[in-house]
Structure 1
Amino acid sequence: MNTLDRARAHLKAHPMALDAALAAAVLVCMVAGSFVDPHSQDGVTWTLRTPDLASLTLITLGATALVFRRRAPRTVLAVTGTLSVIESVTGDDPRAPVAMSAVIALYTVASTTDRPTTWRIGLLTMTVLTGAAMLAGPLPWYAQENLAIFAWTGMAATAGDAIRSRRAFVDAIKERAERAERTREEEARRRVAEERLRIARDLHDVVAHHIALVNVQAGVAAHVMDKRPDQAKEALSHVREASRSALNELRATVGLLRQSGDPEAPTEPAPGLDLLDELVGTFRSAGLQVEVARADQGTTLPAAVDLAAYRVIQEALTNVQKHAGNSAKAEVSVVRVGPHMEITVLDNGTPDDTAPNSGGGHGLLGMRERVTALRGTLTTGPRYGGGFRVHAILPVRTRTATGEPGETV
């Protein structure tokens, strides 16, 4: 920081010192002006004169009042204006320039208030000072000193209003820049949070589904290992296949965290309803009876809707596998109804079986978050007579960032 910057910082930290320096400069100017006589005789334009004590007193009081111009600008204007009127009425020809302090005070008021107030106070100050000088002053009404008072007060009000407008403009730019910065930071935090939730949902769906299958098949293998080794080998084969699928999906999901341009980033498309038969087959191989009914008329869904539909079915069947018992049966229906795709998963679990709580657990919460993010609806709950029902309504058309519907086939 150079000397000029340090001086500016010091003056901003001590505004009273700056006002005192300004008052001293104005005092010097007014005292110097009081010794000049612009109306000399014998063809001499400028001569020196000796001001009287009353003029010097008014000059000193007007300059002293400027020290407090920031704290009480209107009061200082009233004081300096009154002193100027007194000098105009009682002063001898030629007068001392006491009005200079009123001009500075008017500038301060205009720079710290709004435009309508500036116009009102400025017109009042110009009218009072100019009128007092023209009507009650010792000089003729058309004297240049009287016209100068009118001009200087007008310029002071205009300059003060211009400075206030510029300061307000700069402050508005700074405020918009700060607000934009805060908005960018909040948007970045929101996107990070959404991405974390999305990855958490994907990890939960992958792990919960495949681990549930591994658990079932491992239990079967342990139960029939001694009596039916062939069936045990088949169960272990399913365990190996489920674990391999889990690793592949985990690799693809975690790979999304890699930076763009990473050659090891996954390139496989996200799973969708075209893999529904393969998904259902994994549950059937684990012993769950699943029936599928589709009436989606070959609709091609947006990637986000397609993935959400797949994950809803996957999580719902995983819950059936874990909670509905060994003899449970599940029914999956995928139906196109107008502008929506309806996904329904039912099971016939007995009333005594433990069903997932619709208000807790990450699985149902993840499903609800997925569906809500696409402006869809999800309803879950136990069925009358036993079992559980998951019903999702997903829009066939997604919404773009501008609120317009995206295209589907």
Structure 2
Amino acid sequence: MSSSDQTRFRLPRGARADAVLAIGVFVLVALGAEGQRLSGGGDSLSSLVISWVLVTAVCGALLFRRRCPVAVGWFTVLVTGVYYLLSDIDGPLVIVPVVALYAIAAQGRLRSAVAMAAAMVIGVSAGTLAGGSDVNGTSVFMLTGWLVAVVALGNGRHGRVAYAEEEARLRATEERLRIARELHDVIGHNISMINVQAGAARHQLKKDPAFRAGAALSAIETGSRTILRELRATLGVLRRVDEDAPRVPAPGLARADELVASAKLAGLAVRIERSGAERPLPAPVDLAAYRIVQESLTNAARHGRARAVTIRLGYGDRELTVAVEDDGRGAAARPAAAGGGSGIAGMTERAQALGGDLAADPRPGGGFAVRARLPYGAGEPTEWSDR
């Protein structure tokens, strides 16, 4: 933290803010009341004592406005009314219930705020009708306008705070979903490949006890190493706040050959076909395409028991199309396709987040096909930079 951040003035909060508010209002009211007393003169000692006791009680009530705002509001209204009835000093004590009124409205207690404002207007109107010389009809009208404005301002602040909190909750939910989707894609693919290799080796050992499992163990070792590398990179990004850019390249189609090599170790024959003029892809599109291919290969190996997979990448002028087709068992053994998993749902979310779409359906001639359309959007880079 810089020295400027440490020395920067910060407004008090919580109980300290209430204490500052109570003291500030007390000083303001005291100065106003004392000024009127000196100009008017002739006040009795008993009236002076009563006035200062009531002023102190009303201002001191603001210390508890957070714990019991409605009770404090009504207390300030009633005691302020008593003050104007008994005291010979016409101080500006009405400021205190107005402050309490704003606090109540800002907390979203609109009914209590309206009832409190109405009680203040009725009380002042009753005093005017009873022949009070200090207040007239114009003053009542102006007071009503001020109270309505205070309630409206407090309620408006409550609405802004509630909107900001809802936005923060939505952002947190989206971030949790993004992290969950990323971890699923990072771990799920390689774990599935390890599972396939281990199962194949165990099955082969049952058939042929002399079978050498070196290739399977090597594939498992490679897959576990990849898991650790990508998991560390992902967690490093999550922990990073104000650090340099990540040293590990972000997943993208430039690393598609790694996916192909991993899939081949699991027994899949993978072929990549590209059409259109290859171009630098925006980072979100590049990552989404990589994850869609990765998840499709995982499903083909683990659920579809496929042997051959074709990946088609179409570089259009405005969007990238990704198609992954396999010769497996279609949707029958794929719980994600039937709603029991998160793989296809995660791929769909990635495509929709970019303004595209994704379809995952059985192929008419057998097997399964995943087709995605990923628009480049406004974030298409103008220059290629190594990541």
Indicate which of 240, 245, 252 corresponds to 2:226. Answer: 245
Which of residues 350, 366, 381 in structure 2 aligns to 1:386? 366
The answer for the alignment partner of 2:15 in structure 1 is none
C-alpha distance in 2 between matches for 1:272 and 1:228: 41
Residue 285 (structure 1) aligned to one of 265, 282, 307: 265
Measured in 1, the distance between the counterparts of 2:252 and 2:325 equals 20
Q: What is the percentage of aligned positions where both structures have the same residue?
A: 37
CA deviation string 1:309-330 (max 9, x = no partner): 000011011101112225x322
The whole-number CA distance in structure 1 between the counterparts of 2:329 and 2:363 is 10
Question: What does 1:70-89 align with in structure 2 at a 5 Å threshold?
Answer: 70-71=121-122, 79=129
Measured at CA, do residues 352 and 17 of structure 1 come closer, stay the same or move farther in structure 2, by a change above 3 Å?
closer
TM-score by length of 2: 0.64
Offset at residue 175 of structure 1 (A): 4.5
- 1:15 maps to 2:77: yes
* Per-residue deviation, 1:110: 3.2
Q: Which residue number corresponds to residue 104 of structure 1? A: 136
Query: Which residue matches 2:197?
Result: 217
- 1:100 alignment partner AA: S
C-alpha distance in 2 between matches for 1:335 and 1:370:
18
Q: Which residue of 2 aligns with 1:334?
A: 313
User: Map of 1:1-80 to 2, 5 A cutoff?
Assistant: 4-8=55-59, 9=61, 13=75, 15-23=77-85, 70-71=121-122, 79=129
Aligned positions of 1:292-307 closer than 5 A: 292-307=272-287
**Structure 1 partner of 2:94:** none
| Partner secondary structure for residue 284 of structure 1 | helix
Q: Which residue of 1 aligns with 2:7?
A: none
1:349 aligned residue: 328
Note closer, same or farther for the CA distance 1:75–1:340 as it changes in structure 2 (3 Å cut).
same
RMSD between aligned alpha carbons? Answer: 3.3
TM-score, length-scaled by structure 1: 0.61
In structure 2, do the counterparts of structure 1 residues 239 and 169 end up closer, same or farther at CA, with 3 Å as the change threshold? same
Aligned partner letter, 1:188? A
Q: Distance between the aligned counterparts of 2:255 and 2:79, measured in 1? A: 79
Q: 1:197-216 CA deviation, whole Å, 9 max, x = no partner?
A: 11211211122211111122
**2:353 equivalent to 1:373:** yes
Aligned partners of 2:362 and 2:344: how far apart in 1? 13
Letter in 2 for 1:331: T
AA matched with 2:321 = E
Look up the SS of the partner of 2:248 in the other structure.
coil
Q: Higher relative CO (CA 8 A, sep ≥ 6), structure 1 or 2?
A: 2
Contact 1:290/1:330, CA 8 A, preserved across alignment? yes
SS of match in other structure, 2:320:
strand
- Closer, same or farther: CA 179–269 of 1 in aligned 2, 3 Å: farther
Distance of 2:220 and 2:238 partners within structure 1:
28
Letter in 2 for 1:239: I
Quote the Cα distance in structure 2 between the aligned partners of 1:107 and 1:217.
Answer: 87
The question of 1:408 aligning with 2:385 is answered no
CA contact under 8 A between 2:358 and 2:370: conserved in structure 1?
yes
DSSP 3-state at the match of 1:408: coil
Which SS does the other structure have where 1:366 is aligned? helix
- Contact 2:330–2:363 under 8 Å retained in 1: no
- Amino acid in the other structure paired with 1:15: V
Structure 2 residue runs without a partner (length 5+): 1-18, 24-52, 62-71, 91-118, 383-387
**Alpha-carbon distance in 2 for matches of 1:346, 1:250:** 28
Instruction: Tell me, in whole angstroms, the C-alpha distance in 1 between the residues paired with 2:350 and 2:368.
Output: 20
Contact 2:186 2:227 in 1 (8 A): yes
Q: 1:11 to 1:202 in 2, by over 3 A?
A: closer
Equivalent residues of 1:69, 1:76 under 8 A apart: no
How many residue pairs align between the two structures?
Answer: 289
Where does the alignment leave 5 or more consecutive residues of structure 1 unmatched?
29-67, 81-97, 114-163, 398-404
